[in-house]
Structure 1
Amino acid sequence: MKRILLASASIVAFAGAAAAQNITFGGTAELGFNDEEEDGFFYSADLDVTFTTTLDNGLVASATFTLPIASNNLGNTNIGVDDNFVLAIESEGFGGLFFGDTAFAAETRWDPGFAMASDNFSEQDNETVLRGDGVFGDWEFSVSGIVADADNDRPGTGGSGRDYLDQISLGGAGSFGNFVIDFAYQEESQIASDRVGLDESEEGVYDSANDDFNPNEILAAAVGTTFGGADLKFAVARDLTAETTSYGVLARYPFGPVTLTGSYTFEPDFDEDSWRVQADYASGPVTAKVFYESEVGEEDWGIEAGYALDDLTNIYVGYIDADGAYAGARFGIGSNAYLEASYSEFSDAGPTEFRQGTTLLVGLTF
């Protein structure tokens, strides 16, 4: 990372006096060969930029974005901002306001830790989002709305004649005595392209390229506690649009370097229930995991292991029955470079997200 401190407020001005501005530059670069996913030699370089300034009232304003410098085209002269631009105003201990490529409120706060067929909250992927976070004692809350979809279509454009935030989302997490409580809600999308009842002028206004966007109205809540050294959790989720409900329980018990986890979800509105058993091992740089699961009748199992000295030097191997096998290693060259050699039968395999196929590459971080 490279940092530049700008002491003069004449360079960057905000409404109100600024104490100091900080510009942080970082980035990554890769050059390598892959015989499947990249179909030969490939290269890429990205520049990550963060602007921050601290205001007199204690607020911190920031802007972050990525500039794709090159991607398999050394003649690239049309440099544009990538899809992770975020504007933020934050106050430590109180929350913040975020605009851009940032997560929805429900997905920010909701994570039951096990599969539920009725809790398919939308997951943000290139949508433009406005989200506010708040902290009140032991509780954290979020609320968000969609400004534009992944194709940059906005509510109110096209034939709909409407101009508002779509699919308002809420989420919260906090503690009450010995109990930890989570809840989340998202409203039904009013202009999703696949929503029933739209007329011809409204159809396709919100045609998201995000496969993880769900137009349905969903409500979920969970409560967890610790008893006898075991972590226990109960959750319920209701898809109000599809009229389905899921009830799930989870138990997790650690002893020494091993942690055993089991969960079961009762799915009365589906043909089969869901369940999962898993054992994790962690000791120093060595990790391992084995699991067996069934999600509404779709069974899967896997075993994975790794040895990681740090982010640049590690070895990971595994087999997932539904996807295939993978094995790969990274070898650090100093503190900012690494060599990688891997083979995988599927994309984004393992913690380092190995490419599908055989890969040899050199990577740099700045």
Structure 2
Amino acid sequence: MSEQSAPALKEIFNHARLRDIAAQTAAVHPGFDSARFLAATAEGLDALSLMARLRRVSVCLHDGLPSDLAPALAILRRLAPRLDNRFVTLVLPEYVAMYGLEDFDLSMEALRFFTPFGSAEFAVRPFLRQDLARGLALMERWSRDDNEHVRRLASEGSRPRLPWSFRLEALRADPSPVKAILDNLRADPSLYVRKSVANHLNDITKDHPDWVMDLLEGWELHHPPTAWIARHALRSLIKQGDRRALGLIGAGQAAQVSLEDMRVSPADIRLGDKVTVAFRLRSTSPLPQRLVIDYAIHYVKKSGGTSAKVFKLKTLTLAPLASVEISRSQAIRDFTTRVHYAGKHAVEVFINGECLARGAFSLV
């Protein structure tokens, strides 16, 4: 996870929360020295980021629990249901990642237990880095578990590019070891799990797009949950206009449409204003068409050049010779990941990967 967190977010671990963790731990382990825990966790708290606070809680729990892993984990299992915030429960799998690497079986079973209370996707990764084959063999069994949280952990924890965690370089180089996990989850009834599978596959498309598309071609894409995974897994390739990816979701053919009355308004905006892209699509085909509609904004950079970002607009089936009005409004404001600069911003509309219209607005 990122060490940079908004002040409000890091206050998840404020003084009141630390007192509650101490009280709940003492309730399940009467020998716990709450005063020592609070003194250690509170020292210099204001200067610590969210993740630094989380890790300190795990360290200070370790200082107050039995030194042997098994009895310590038994206490933490009793503690887990008493913590009233899903993010706070991350201190428990973090404890396992920090102190359990020498006992694979005990630690991985603890992560399986803790993950329904919050998530263990970050904590499982040091075990995969240490012994990938052994870890994935166990996670393949997890992918067939009755609990959706455990099934999600099998997919999310093994993502090659999991945000806020280190990359699993072996899986970036060769994703084939996770195929069994993904196959098991390809029609999962839980949206929570399907989102993870789609994100996992989207990760892989950054390095091995054909591997992902080969895999999806072997799945039952007529099945709605599987089709949902495929659409979201291929989102990056679809934004790039990849013809094979578009074909997998039924939009591989060039659109037989006319794009009319393209409008980008207002022509001049200030930072914080909204810009609206609107147009009419008219079918020129005697058959229904599956259409994937995206738009790109070419953002002006500090250097004066531009950098395009593609946004999803709509996916629809257009009836023969029918027409549809399309519009989307978007606020132009600064984010931590994007700073805007004055100048002319080109706008392009893509239908099934092909640019069919262009417009522009100026940021003044």
**TM-score for the superposition, normalised by structure 2:** 0.32
Higher share of residues assigned strand: 1
With a CA cutoff of 8 Å and minimum separation of 6, indicate the structure with the bigger relative contact order. Answer: 1
